[in-house]
Amino acid sequence: MPSLHKVLCVACGTPIYRDRGRVNENLKLKHNFYCSRACEYTYKMRRRILRCDNSDCGKEFPRMFNDVLSYNYCSRSCAAHVNNQKFPKRGLGFKLCGFIPCNKQFIGETKYCSRTCYSASRKRHEPKELIGELQRVSNELGRVPAKREVKLLADSCIYAFGSWNNAIIAAGLMPNRSDSQRMYHRTQTTAKDGHKCDSVSEAIIDNWLTKHKIGHERDVSYPATHHKADWQIGHTFVEYFGLAQDSPRYDRAIRRKKDLCKKYHIPLVEIYPQDIYPSIILDNKIGRLTERFL
C-alpha cells in the first residue's frame, strides 16, 4: 500500500491525504490541493475589487485574482482612452467627424468618430430628390455626368438605387461605359467644338482645350500604322489613357503608341484619369508643353 502524505486544502484548510507521487507532481507543476470540487470552484472564482486606472473614470469593478495586471481598466474604452494619451499614433492629428451635426474632433484613420455617426450619415435620400439632382447636373454640363465628377451624389444614388447606372436610367439619361462593356464598346460624346469623342472623359479634355483656345486636331494617324492619336497640338500628340491597367489589350496598345513616338521622334503628352478627376489639372501637362511645340 502506497504511503500517504498529509496536505492542507488551499481553500478551507482541511487536512487531506494524498500519496507521495501525486503530492510531488502537484508541487512540481505548482498546483494547489483541494479537499473537494466545491472548494476548488470557490478558490478559483475568488474576485478582487479593483478601481479603474483611468483617472477620468475611477469606477470599482471585480476581477479574478489570476486576471489582475499592473494596470486594470473597467472596459476597453477606458484602456483605449489612457493608451491613446500615453502612446499617440504617429502622423495622425485631430480631425472633425464626417457627420456634420456631430462635429467632434478625434484621432483616427476613419472618417467618422463612431459607428453611431457613421450610421446617422447614411441617410437615405428620396429617389425623386436624387433624380431631380441628376437631371439638374446633366443640364448644367450638357451631358451625362461621370460618377467621379459627383462622388457624393453618386454614393447616395448607389445607396438608393443599387448602382450608379440604375440611377442614371431612372433619371431618363443614357449610362456611360460600364464595367461589362470594358474597352470594346464606347459611348460617343460630342465636344463643344463639334469633335466626336469616344468617352465623356475625352470630351472633358477637348472642352478644356477649346476653353483655353489651344488649337487641336482629333484622331490623327501615327506614321505607318492604323493607330490614331486622340489629339495633335502642333507637332505634339496627346493621348488620354483612360483604361490603363484595365485591359491587357489596351495596355499593349499604349506600349505600341509610346514605341512609335520614340521611333519617329514625336513628343507625346500622356493624360490619365487622375489628371481630370476630381478636378482638371492639365496646365502643367498641356499648357507648358504647347508653348514649346506650337
Cα→Cα distances 241→5, 24, 124, Å: 87, 78, 36
Instruction: Yes or no: say if 230 and 217 are a contact pair by the CB < 8 Å rule.
Output: no
CA nearest neighbour of 176 among 200, 195, 157: 200
Return d(Cα 74, Cα 72) in angstroms, integer: 7
Instruction: Yes or no: say if 88 and 108 are a contact pair by the CB < 8 Å rule.
Output: no
Residue 144: strand, helix, or coil: coil
Q: How many CB atoms lie within 10 A of CB 272?
A: 15
| pLDDT value of position 258 | 94
Query: pLDDT of the chain along its 294 residues, tens only?
Result: 567 888 999 889 899 998 888 889 988 898 989 999 999 888 888 888 899 999 888 899 988 887 888 889 999 989 988 888 887 766 566 788 877 667 788 877 788 888 888 877 766 678 888 889 899 988 988 888 888 778 778 888 888 888 888 888 888 887 765 444 444 445 678 899 999 998 888 999 999 999 989 999 999 999 988 899 999 998 899 999 988 877 788 889 999 999 999 999 999 999 998 888 777 888 888 866 555 444
Q: In the structure grid, which three cell numbers stand for residue 91, read together?
A: 502622423
Give residue 148's identity as a one-letter amino acid code.
Answer: R
CA nearest neighbour of 74 among 66, 23, 82: 82
pLDDT digits (tens, 9 = 90+) for 111-141: 888 888 887 776 667 888 888 989 998 898 8
Instruction: Yes or no: say if 213 and 287 are a contact pair by the CB < 8 Å rule.
Output: no
Return d(Cα 269, Cα 163) in angstroms, integer: 34
DSSP label at residue 288: H
Crossing angle of helices 127-141 and 151-161, rounded to 10°: 140
| pLDDT value of position 100 | 62
Instruction: Yes or no: say if 294 and 233 are a contact pair by the CB < 8 Å rule.
Output: yes
Return d(Cα 265, Cα 21) in angstroms, integer: 92
Instruction: Yes or no: say if 61 and 79 are a contact pair by the CB < 8 Å rule.
Output: no
Return d(Cα 40, Cα 36) in angstroms, integer: 6
Burial 234-266 (b: 16+ CB within 10 A, else e): bebbbbbbbbeeeeeebeebeeebeebbeeeeb
Q: How many residues does the chain have?
A: 294
Phi, psi at 96, each rounded to 5°? -85, 145
pTM (2 d.p.): 0.43
Scanning the structure block, which residue is given the C-alpha cell 468617352? 199
Give residue 175's identity as a one-letter amino acid code.
Answer: P
Q: What is the DSSP code string of 217-240?
A: EEEEEPTTSS-EEEEEETTEEEEE
Pairing of the two strands 236-240 and 268-271: parallel
